[in-house]
């Protein structure tokens, strides 16, 4: 067996690094990703407060280290708070539920490529923790496990409000997971592979999927809000109705784990949107970052590009929270089953038919005529969906089922009537 110091002195880049180099690189990537991931989840709590304060024209956290140390103060508070357990709770499941909510959100990051490969002197090192050939299927499988933590938390608390929140969350996440999975099938049709690296490379050398598959991105975006329990789909923890939903009986760090899991899910969903539809780590308008030699500068710049796209969607999550009202529960389920699911199925048929037609006409995959045909089909789908079918009625949480005439009648009935005239003494 070659000792590690001698192994690290091997010169000359190779296609596959030695097992020892691969192991060291994987451990370093694991530590860096874990630290950045947890640090980002903590700082997003501060960013959410700052963004909301900016939108509401007020000051956010500005006392503890001028606001920058507020996440540390919140963490210390949760560490020293007393752990409370309901008398009638199922304690093993009650303790396990926060872990089941947090772990799946963190594991899905293992297959998301966050930068271009680095051609080191010991071999080409992939900038992904686990470059699995079925990475996309891995994400779908593990992201669906998070609902178990929420359902178990609601049931094991032996609290009716927590149980209602858990049941709501299970119905909501199952409903929107179907639409989310269906919306990604057109991405796989164009990439021809379920590997996340292949999906990024296909967009890097051709066109970002958001141009070819705008409707699929729209469906994925809505489903991501529902999957992360963020406004306008935060029905499982609606404070006005369910106190705090499925985590009503939780305290201290178990309570904080649910919120850490929410922000981790938000970060993962943002990274997925950037990877599947916006080219991942690809720097737009250039192929310099996609071809050899794979230098450290390319790896660093592509990581910055990936981080920029991901942080934009994180900000978009926060922006929507302080902009849109909450959906009613019937509107939430109706949107998922009656609108998004049929739309995703119809869009799969449209994309597959267009791809087959373009292949039949002899247009090569990735050529300009091929993508022009896809973009024209996509533009027609967007016009039909938003300007003919919807027109602001289906997607709006404030839309009414009444027609204009009945709505005018209700407004006339509920309008304040003028006060009767009091006769004066001279009348």
Q: pLDDT for 114-140, tens place per residue?
A: 888 888 777 788 888 888 888 888 888
Is residue 148 within 8 A of residue 104, CB to CB? The reply is no
Band the pLDDT of 4: cuts 50, 70, 90. Answer: very low
Strands (E), 86-217: 118-120, 123-125
Tell me the β-bridge partners of 124. Answer: 119
Q: pLDDT for 176-217, tens place per residue?
A: 888 888 999 999 988 888 888 888 888 888 888 898 899 999
The CA distance from 243 to 245, in Å, is 6
**Between the CA of residue 134 and those of 138, 197, 205, 352, what are the distances in Å?**
6, 10, 21, 21
Is residue 238 within 8 A of residue 320, CB to CB? The reply is no
Q: pLDDT for 251-304, tens place per residue?
A: 888 888 888 888 888 898 999 999 999 988 888 888 887 777 878 888 899 999
From the list 16, 41, 153, the residue with the least C-alpha distance to 97 is 153
Domain boundaries, the chain: 24-332
CB atoms within 10 A of CB 252: 15
Using CB atoms within 10 Å of the CB of residue 227, give its burial: 0 to 12 exposed, 13 to 18 middle, 19+ buried: buried
Strands (E), 331-387: none
Is residue 101 within 8 A of residue 258, CB to CB? The reply is yes
113: Cβ–Cβ under 8 A, 6 or more apart, which residues? 126, 127, 128, 131, 196, 197, 200, 275, 280, 281
The CA distance from 254 to 251, in Å, is 6
The CA distance from 137 to 354, in Å, is 25
């Amino acid at each position: 067996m070659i000792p590690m110091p001698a192994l690290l002195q091997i010169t000359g880049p190779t296609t596959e690094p030695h097992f020892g180099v691969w192991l060291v690189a994987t451990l370093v990537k694991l530590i860096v990703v874990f630290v950045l991931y947890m640090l980002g989840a903590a700082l997003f709590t501060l960013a959410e407060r700052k963004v909301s304060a900016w939108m509401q024209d007020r000051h956010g956290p500005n006392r503890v280290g001028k606001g920058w140390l507020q996440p540390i103060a919140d963490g210390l508070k949760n560490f020293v708070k007393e752990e409370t357990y309901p008398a009638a709770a199922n304690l093993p499941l009650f303790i396990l539920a926060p872990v089941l909510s947090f772990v799946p959100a963190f594991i899905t990051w293992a297959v998301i490529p966050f930068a271009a490969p680095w051609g080191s002197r010991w071999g080409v090192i992939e900038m992904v923790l686990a470059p699995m050939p079925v990475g996309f299927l891995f994400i779908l499988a593990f992201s669906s496990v998070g609902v178990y933590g929420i359902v178990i938390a609601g049931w094991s608390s032996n609290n009716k409000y927590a149980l209602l929140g858990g049941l709501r969350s299970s119905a909501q996440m199952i409903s929107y997971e179907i639409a989310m999975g269906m919306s990604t099938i057109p991405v796989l049709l164009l990439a021809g592979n379920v590997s996340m690296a292949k999906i990024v490379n296909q967009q890097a050398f051709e066109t970002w999927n958001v141009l070819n598959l705008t409707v699929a991105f729209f469906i994925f975006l809505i489903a991501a809000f529902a999957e992360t329990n963020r406004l306008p789909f935060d029905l499982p923890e609606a404070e006005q109705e369910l106190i705090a939903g499925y985590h009503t009986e939780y305290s201290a760090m178990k309570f904080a784990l649910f919120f850490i899991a929410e922000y981790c899910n938000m970060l993962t969903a943002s990274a997925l949107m950037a990877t599947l539809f916006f080219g991942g780590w690809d720097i737009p308008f250039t192929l310099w970052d996609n071809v050899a030699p794979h230098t450290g500068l390319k790896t660093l710049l592509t990581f910055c590009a990936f981080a920029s796209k991901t942080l934009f969607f994180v900000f978009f999550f926060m922006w929507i929270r302080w902009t849109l009202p909450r959906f009613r529960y019937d509107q939430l389920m109706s949107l998922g089953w009656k609108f998004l699911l049929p739309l995703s199925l119809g869009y799969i048929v449209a994309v597959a038919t267009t791809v087959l037609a373009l292949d039949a006409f002899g247009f090569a995959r990735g050529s300009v005529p091929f993508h022009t045909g896809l973009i024209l089909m996509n533009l027609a789908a967007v016009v039909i969906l938003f300007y003919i079918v919807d027109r602001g009625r289906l997607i709006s949480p404030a839309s009414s089922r009444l027609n204009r005439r009945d709505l005018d009648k209700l407004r006339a009935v509920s309008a304040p009537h003028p006060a009767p005239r009091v006769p004066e003494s001279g009348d």
